[in-house]
Amino acid sequence: MKKILKWAGIVAVCLIVIGFIAFLYLIPPFDLLPREAFTKPHAEVVASALEKIDDPVERTIAQRGEYIMSYSDCSDCHTPQGDQGPNWNEFLAGGAKFELRNIGTPYSRNLTPDPETGLARRTDDEVKRVLRSGIFHDGRFFHPTTMPWPGFSNMNEEDRHALVVYLRHIKPVKHKVPEWSAESSDALYLFYPYDYAEHEKK
Amino acid sequence: MLIAVSLWIGLSANLLGAPADKEAVSQQTVGKSIYETHCAQCHGADGKGEGVGSALLNPRPRNFTTGMFKFRSTESGSLPTDEDLMAAINNGLHGTSMPDWAPFIKGDSLKQVVDYVKAFSPRFQKDKPRPVHVGSPVPYSAASAAAGKKVYAKLQCADCHGTDGAGTGAVAKDFQDEWNFETYAVNLTEPWTFRGGATARDIYLRFRTGVDGTPMPSFAGAASEKEMWDLANYVVSIARKPVWNMNENEVKEFYSKLDAQEKADPVQRGKYLVRSIGCAGCHSKYTDDMRIVEGSQLSGGLTFDLYPFGKYVTRNLTSDNETGLGNWTDQEIKRAITQGISRDGRKFLPFPMPWAAFSALKEDDQNAIVTYLRTVPAVHHKIPDPDKPNVFTYLWGKFKMLVLKERIPAPAYPMKEPEDQQKSVSQNLSGVDKNIAAHDEHAKVVQR
């Protein structure tokens, strides 16, 4: 009787261990997540906001901007990742962290038109200057390995305008991203795709 | 007594002299510190135009060591005036990544930056700028613009800028500038991209002075004063409306025309997409301080260590048959870009290659990218396959991510090449350096 119990115990423990390993092996992130988890936003999160624009000119330009935003991959850095892929309710709200040797620790910014934490605080010219020249609104410089502005500087001015018009019309998210800190790591380049923003306690 | 007087004179001379010296020194340090915090990232600390941001920019940042500047109010081949340089810094150069620095560099410091920039080239000590005499302008009128149209034909502007001024003339292909970088004929219908400014006077100055270092010559001898002003008025007259000033019908018509244009010229469209997305930002070789190695653009080589999934090196996208995309079919390239599936069926991780974002690309744009990548000159650069971890590392990494909720970074760094490959790279690079140095004696003088 005791022997049976002992064996049953051993088998149970083994099953639990094997089950746990299988669980670890099979569960996401990120290589086993359904691939749709990363491609969702363009239909669901984005398009609906643009239909509400009253001005037909703005709407047409914003649609071009939406297309440019999608293929330019803004959301890979500006939408933080959770365990189940990107947090779509924080679409383009920023918060991912970079650590760069000798340069510091920037965080991806909140691109939504939120008046307190987002791009509503910046003029069109300031946003375009970032995209064209990597110059922050206060004159600081983005290292190209964080914000890849040297690529975006090859965009023509009208497309850049369309992108800015689009950003003015997406859903505002209140999402306070930490300020750029001067601390830097020994590693050359580290990217933490998670959310480092302050969240209001509910 | 005499000694005392001479001592006093000496002392006072010292006292008088010292502040002036100090001021000069402090002025230079102000110029230097502004240059290093604002300009060096593109123009380089040594003024050669090879800063960290420079490798992907079109046009490239100016190399100050040659003392050759494009947008001046001085004779062809002459140095620019201080005012020319100040205007370029203040207003920026539209249509390039040189921003308007007016909000950030103000007052005296602007002059000090200009002095610091001038110090990169010994030409400024030897020569003086020779400003052109700007005669009395011909005010804008339909008659003057019509006369300008004839001058446009007479001077054969259409050869490069096209009959409609859109910059697509028959000759305007594969232009290179004095620094061996690609350049192009400006689209004259888009005045917001005119680097030297868009007033009739600015445009007149471009014909009058030429754009040094590019195929755009000075027409000082070939056309009269009046003809050049008429021509400037003509260029003003052919400006089209920018998208931000259009009404509903205009904007719709504009975008549908643009669509047709993009389909008609897939190489150009593909080049635009590949450059504006910044594919070469990852698909390039990097130095140990995270600068792109010149000439390695699009040939791959940046390593991402995606613990616990393995190490991935960005692939060679050039048309090389053995190591690049030369042997891939169009379908295979498109599948890799938009679905993240490699030629052999391996699946990419969702990042850093943003195939999920590229899945939004329209079919025509995907084709355009493929068409353009086929035209990229082959670079032989063998990229190793992803370095997959063993199952224990993989499980332990996942345990840390999922159960211990550890935030695991994705580091990127330059790939360490085998030694023989490193050698060939450094040989290539020294060859490039020699070309640049041979290009201008002044560069060597500055190096010494």
CA of B280 vs chain A CAs: smallest distance (Å):
8
Q: Contact, B145 vs B234, CB < 8 A?
A: yes
Domains of chain A, by residue range, sit at 1-32, 36-192
User: B54: which chain A residues are within 8 Å (Cβ-Cβ)?
Assistant: 150
Q: Which pLDDT value is given to residue B17?
A: 39
The one-letter amino acid code at A39 reads T
Q: Which pLDDT value is given to residue B427?
A: 43
Per the omega criterion (within 30 degrees of 0), is the bond before A29 cis? Answer: yes
Range with the poorest average pLDDT among A9-18, B23-32, B100-109: B23-32
Chain B, 291-350: which have a CB under 8 Å from a chain A CB?
309, 339-340, 347, 349-350
Mean pLDDT, chain B, whole residue set: 85
Q: Which pLDDT value is given to residue B288?
A: 86
CA of B104 vs chain A CAs: smallest distance (Å):
6
From A73, A141, A159, residue closest to B354, measured CB to CB: A73
Nearest-angstrom CA–CA distance, A66 and B135: 48
Q: Which pLDDT value is given to residue B381?
A: 93
Segment B169-185 shows an average pLDDT of 86
Q: Which pLDDT value is given to residue A103?
A: 85
CA-nearest of B38, B190, B28 to B102 is B38
pLDDT at B434 over 50: no
Question: Which phi and psi (to 5°) does residue A195 adopt?
Answer: -90, 120
% of chain B exceeding 90 in pLDDT:
63
Q: Which pLDDT value is given to residue A145?
A: 84
Q: What is the largest CA-CA distance in chain A?
A: 82
Q: Which pLDDT value is given to residue B442?
A: 33
Q: Confidence band (pLDDT; 50, 70, 90) for B8?
A: very low
pLDDT at B436 over 80: no
Q: Which pLDDT value is given to residue A48?
A: 66
**CATH T-level fold of B27-126:** Cytochrome Bc1 Complex; Chain D, domain 2 (1.10.760)
Q: Which pLDDT value is given to residue A42?
A: 61
Chain B, 236-265: which have a CB under 8 Å from a chain A CB?
242-244, 246-248, 251-252, 255
Q: Following DSSP, what letter does each residue of B158-226 receive, concatenated? A: HHHH-TTSSS--TT-SSEE-TTS-EE----TT-GGG-TT-SSHHHHHHHHHH--TTSS----TTTS-HH
Domains of chain B, by residue range, sit at 27-126, 142-240, 417-448
Segment B33-38 shows an average pLDDT of 92
ipTM of the complex: 0.89
Per the omega criterion (within 30 degrees of 0), is the bond before B59 cis? Answer: yes
The one-letter amino acid code at A184 reads S
Give the CATH superfamily of B142-240.
Cytochrome c-like domain (1.10.760.10)
Instruction: State pLDDT tens for residues B350-366.
Output: 888 999 889 989 999 99
More confident site: B12 or A44? A44
Nearest-angstrom CA–CA distance, B54 and B117: 17
pLDDT at B438 over 70: no
Domains B27-126 and B142-240 alike in fold: yes
Instruction: State pLDDT tens for residues B262-309.
Output: 999 999 999 999 999 999 999 999 988 888 998 899 999 999 998 888
pLDDT at B4 over 50: no
- Best of A189, A190, A192 to disrupt the B interface (most B CBs within 10 Å) is A189
Segment B158-163 shows an average pLDDT of 92
Which residue has tokens 């003024």?
Answer: B47
pLDDT at B367 over 90: yes
C-alpha to C-alpha distances, B325 to B268, B279, B283, B414, nearest whole angstrom: 19, 14, 13, 21
CA-nearest of B255, B282, B248, B264 to B354 is B282
Instruction: State pLDDT tens for residues B129-148.
Output: 999 988 889 999 999 999 99
Per-residue pLDDT of chain A (202 residues; tens, 9 = 90+): 788 888 999 999 999 888 877 777 776 656 667 777 777 766 566 666 788 888 999 999 999 999 999 899 898 899 988 877 888 888 899 999 999 888 889 999 999 999 999 999 999 999 999 999 999 998 888 888 888 999 999 999 999 999 999 999 988 999 999 998 888 888 889 999 899 988 755 4
Q: Which pLDDT value is given to residue A23?
A: 74
Nearest-angstrom CA–CA distance, A174 and A121: 13
Would you call B8 an interface residue with chain A, using a CB distance cutoff of 8 Å? no
Contact A71 B398 (CB under 8 A): no
Chain B, 165-204: which have a CB under 8 Å from a chain A CB?
192-193
- Asked whether the whole model's pTM tops 0.90, one would answer no
CA of A16 vs chain B CAs: smallest distance (Å):
15
Partnered with residue A86 across adjacent β-strands are: A81
Q: Which pLDDT value is given to residue A47?
A: 62
